[in-house]
Homo-oligomer: A and B are copies of this chain.
Amino acid sequence: MPQFLNTQDADFETQFTALLGAKREDSPDVDAVVAEIIADVRARGDAAVLELTAQFDRLELTPETLRFSEAEIDAFCAEVSDEERAALELAAERIRAYHSRQMPSDDSWADANGATLGWRWSPVSAAGLYVPGGLASYPSSVLMNAIPAKVAGVERLAIVVPTPDGIANPLVLLAARLAGVDEIYRIGGAQAVAALAYGTDTIAPVDKITGPGNAFVAAAKRRVFGKVGIDMIAGPSEILVIADKDNNPDWIALDLLSQAEHDESAQSILITDDNGFGKAVAQAVEKRLETLERRAIAGASWRDFGAVITVDDLDQAAALSNRIAPEHLELCVADPDALSDKITHAGAIFLGQFTPEAIGDYVGGPNHVLPTARSARFSSGLSVMDFLKRTTLSKMTLESLRAIGPAAATLAKSESLEAHGLSVLARLEALNQK
């Protein structure tokens, strides 16, 4: 059974704080191993990548077979059923449409003194996307990472995906093709991250690496950060559902379980203003857990980290939600828009009872790579912005340099940076002599 909390309880604050602070993940310390792997790939390039792939994935490759050929990709794509292809195409189309609207605008204007100011956005030249192999090899994540990169205008997009024992997921390859990925390499682990960051004879280096991975991949991303850009290091998934009593308990139970089934460290929380409804949902969860395919995982997550919180009213629900800063937030209430206006920190909000979070995982359009572990307090989900950077632009005229140059020289002097000041003053002197 999950925890049951009630804001009426005397020790609610203590319990809620404990829930907020619950440590859900013990990452193994693989940093030393990863450092060695990265150093090896930097030193020996392809040779190291091939040896490590043979060792970890039991797969013998050559520089020529590191990359999937177009013919191989064709063959894998042909294995995908029409139904699955149509679903992936619908998802790709909706994700592309949503992310296209995120493209920011350049700007340029003249100030009162005639100086031109502005900025310009430009895409990262080359990006690499890590796609896990095996069970957690999700074609939906390929779309969610690759499409924003291509919408942003990334010219070269490479995927690395391990194929343990040579087994590839045809849906992952089709998703990559639909998203417009340029290169697909059948490698994984820290060695793949190192190859993307530093390059080998076969794999050109990229400027940014995104995508989920295990502890080795996460440690490798942290280590190459600075040499290349990385996206967030995602923790286990979370959902918070705020639901009033006018909901079907089974629907809400399934929404909670759709996070819980990801991972034993996932967390599903229900906040309701009706104690009886909370109990009904908990019962519905238990019933579904009797038959759910991934009941071992989902059951452990729900038992260890699940919670049902009863509040006095929805304002209290919003306040608690803002302290949780959930990755996913469902608002299954009569007026979800009004409640949404009170939410200050959340990765993604799903409004109304006809918007199960799973829609957002696949076909809604918004990204499913979202800030976990309360980081929605200060960060956002993946977007086209992750594949763009902004260059600021300034162009002074004679008049504007005369108008604001002296202030710059004054501040430079205050900061004891003489050359800064002289670079302005030398120009002003020469101009004043004209």
Q: Does A250 contact B (CB under 8 A)?
A: yes
Indicate whether A14 reaches chain B with its CB closer than 8 angstroms.
no
Q: How far is the CA of A117 from the CA of B96 in the complex (A)?
A: 13
Query: Given the complex, which residues of B lie within 8 Å of A208, measured CB to CB?
Result: 378
Kindly provide the distance from the CB of A328 to the nearest chain B CB, expressed in whole angstroms.
10
Q: Which of these binds chain B: A45-53, A67-75, A414-422?
A: A414-422
Docked-complex contact A397 and B358, CB < 8 angstroms: no
A351-B391 in contact given A404-B363, A423-B358 (Cβ < 8 Å) = no
| Chain A 345-369: CB-based contact to B (< 8 A → 1; otherwise 0) | 1111111111111111111111100
Residues of B within 8 A of A354 (CB): 396-398, 400-401, 427
Contact with B along A146-188 (1 / 0, CB 8 A): 0000000000000000000000000100000000000000000
B412 touches A362 (CB 8 A): yes
Tell me which of A4-12, A253-261, A306-314 binds B.
A253-261
Contacts of A411 in B (CB 8 A): 84, 87-88, 91, 139-140, 362-363
Count of chain A residues with a beta carbon within 8 Å of a chain B beta carbon: 123
Q: Is the CB of A358 within 8 A of B404?
A: no
Task: For the complex, give the distance between the alpha carbons of A242 and B31 in Å.
Answer: 42
By the criterion CB–CB under 8 Å, are A90 and B380 in contact?
no
B390 touches A423 (CB 8 A): no
Tell me how far the C-beta of A330 lies from the nearest C-beta in chain B, rounded to whole angstroms.
Answer: 10
| A394 neighbours in B (Cβ, 8 Å) | 348-351, 355, 359-360, 364-366
Q: Tell me the bound Cα distance from A359 to B411 in angstroms.
A: 10
- Interface stretch among A57-65, A275-283, A286-294? A286-294
Does A24 make an interface contact (CB < 8 A)?
no
A344's contact among B122, B262, B415, by CB below 8 Å, is which?
A: B122
Asked if A213 CB lies within 8 Å of chain B CBs, one says no
5 A-B pairs whose Cβ atoms sit less than 8 Å apart in the complex? A139-B414, A257-B422, A294-B419, A357-B423, A370-B392
Known: A294-B417, A363-B407. 9 other contacts (CB 8 A): A91-B407, A125-B377, A135-B416, A208-B378, A354-B396, A360-B392, A362-B412, A366-B392, A380-B389
Residue ranges of A at the interface with B (Cβ–Cβ < 8 Å): 83-84, 86-88, 90-91, 94, 97-98, 101-102, 104, 107, 109, 111, 115-117, 119, 122, 124-125, 135, 138-140, 171, 207-208, 226, 228-229, 233, 248, 250-251, 254-255, 257-258, 260-262, 288, 292-294, 298, 336-337, 340, 343-367, 370-371, 373, 375-381, 383, 385, 389-398, 400-401, 404-408, 410-412, 414-424, 426-427, 430
